Amino acid sequence: MEAAAAPKPPFTAFPSSYTPKPFLRFALPNIPLHSKRRFLKISSALSKPAAAQSFVSRYGLEEPRKGADILVEALERQGVTDVFAYPGGASMEIHQALTRSAIIRNVLPRHEQGGVFAAEGYARSSGRPGVCIATSGPGATNLVSGLADALLDSVPLVAITGQVPRRMIGTDAFQETPIVEVTRSITKHNYLVLDVDDIPRIVNEAFFLATSGRPGPVLIDIPKDIQQQLAIPNWDQPIRLSGYMSRLPKSPNENHLELIVRLLSEAKKPVLYVGGGCLNSSEELRRFVQLTGVPVASTLMGLGAYPMGDENSLQMLGMHGTVYANYAVDKCDLLLAFGVRFDDRVTGKLEAFASRAKIVHIDIDSAEIGKNKQPHVSVCADLKLALNGINRVLESRGVGGKLDFRSWREELNEQKRKFPLSYKTFEEEISPQYAIQVLDELTNGEAIVSTGVGQHQMWAAQFYKYKKPRQWLTSGGLGAMGFGLPAAIGAAVANPGTVVVDIDGDGSFIMNVQELATIKVEKLPVKILLLNNQHLGMVVQWEDRFYKSNRAHTYLGDPSNENAIFPNFLKFADACGIPSARVAKKDDLRAAIQKMLDTPGPYLLDVIVPHQEHVLPMIPSNGTFQDVITEGDGRTSY
């Protein structure tokens, strides 16, 4: 982002041809850019790179090169090995430079939105920042949904866009959009590069910003003339983020951690409410539960942080969470909210949420503490450090093992027995929940699962038993349809050899169906379990419940021939040379899913399911636990 000029600090290591120019308004500390290859993990605290190797440039020390080549080498020095980039006029130079890299592979999406969602899938499944590249104008604006999604779900992303030459900015040039202004409120930070010599520093800052504190997306907009300009890069520039670094959370206060332990020892009915902020602290979370025996309810974003099949797991809470998870939060006397933001889809009516409980809120983002629900004790810190500290206090005081919540757990077990996750059968037709259960069994709960948005997303959250973090990839905060297939692409690139399944709905899938070409050409073994009900299922469910089943443009088939499956997704797959099959009867399902998993490479299984099925339980928007719905579907009138 352009800002007022400020003089740079003096340097001694610059090549003689270097003329420093101002860029950002921050006064910044001297943190050198080392010439080492970095593999950055998503981290909520400052830490050393996970791996550092001496980096050997393909250019001589004093050899001039284009700005685009400086950019690509800067990515290499950050440990980037994969990007998702779609070329255009304003980004051609970057793509030419990528062809000269022996380190970075470009996975070519068929739409820029596919590219940014794939970069998200890469980041969510691996813990490393995802990188996507697009041209100016419509290429850049096609990234907007992905950037907003990454911000809401705290996904580290670096998006690079080409821009018209500097002299043409503001002239309404061909394919010019002010993408820095467009994305200002949906990125953690963004840059407009106005000096080729700033590229090494800006890339270093972008990756640091994306991965530190609360992770998020950063955009770098690079005019074409900057990409073409020859320069000798200085890799030892300091990053200039003193204001940001001063706001990064410090180590948790020991007194606060001891207070949390004291509240825990006084509680009779404690519950853990864990979210996406726990994904990097899974081991510490498991140790805490081992020491205390506190039952665990997870948000949609936190699935897998604690094993869903464990006896202490209450699975998911919230609008479509289990009855027993929502019961636990409603009746608890201590709510341990770790790495969460009290989202409306979790809390429902805020005043009634955990109304009997003392609330402890630990989060790395100070803006989230007290934003929606005022806690009794708050700790703004890296959750990994906080949980380590709490576990240390528990162990040193011998509290672990002395806490007795057996009567509380038995009360919750009774709720599990009375209100298990269940579903109705449709005779020979396939219940969508059953399809996901079979997939869970056949993959032993170990696949990486991505989804679109809607009913299939909620069923995948309920009926697949995730064992570890980063198995579950979904658009939570934004709820972006079309996320599933591209996210699976990113996961397959980041995790070769791992089973990756896109559980998708027909409405979501068709929004980025062009990415079938990508998985074919890139030889990515993505499996697509398409739950096809010919409707926009979640909206249909709301129509059934609240609008007397009046269909308002939610039928996605062909109205002139409602008996046919439309469109024929098998022909989409065939057009891209991808094997596929359709299954409509329950007795044929298991063998069909097994064949999908056994077939090498990508595969699409079109599973025909009834549109009358509803996602249950359901707490209506702004409702309370008392309003929970556990019965009925589209075959019933309301």
Hey, which residues are catalytic here?
112, 174-175, 224, 538
Give dist(CA 630, CA 548) in Å, integer: 18
Instruction: Judge whether 88 and 214 are in contact, CB under 8 Å.
Output: no
- Residue 243: how many CB atoms within 10 A of its CB? 12
Q: DSSP 3-state assignment of 523? A: coil
CA dihedral 299, 303, 308, 313 (to 10 degrees): -30
Cα dihedral 196, 197, 200, 203 in deg (nearest 10): -50
Distance from C-alpha of 52 to C-alpha of 174, rounded to nearest angstrom: 42
Contact 410, 319 (CB under 8 A): no
Given a contact cutoff of 8 angstroms between Cβ atoms, the answer to whether 473 and 485 are in contact is no
Residues in the chain: 638
Specify the amino acid at residue 399. V
Residue 386 host element (H or E) = helix 383-396
Question: Before 567, cis peptide (omega within 30)?
Answer: yes
Amino acid at 263: L
Q: Which residue has the tokens 């020979």?
A: 428
In DSSP notation, 346-370 reads HHSSGGGTTTTSEEEEEES-GGGTT
- CA-based nearest residue to 291, from 403, 375, 146: 403
283, 305 contact by CB (below 8 A) = no
Query: 164 vs 168, 170, 192, CA distance in Å?
Result: 6, 10, 11
Residue pair 256/377 in contact by the 8 Å Cβ criterion = yes
| 439 CB-near residues (< 8 Å, 6+ apart) | 447, 464, 501, 503, 529, 593
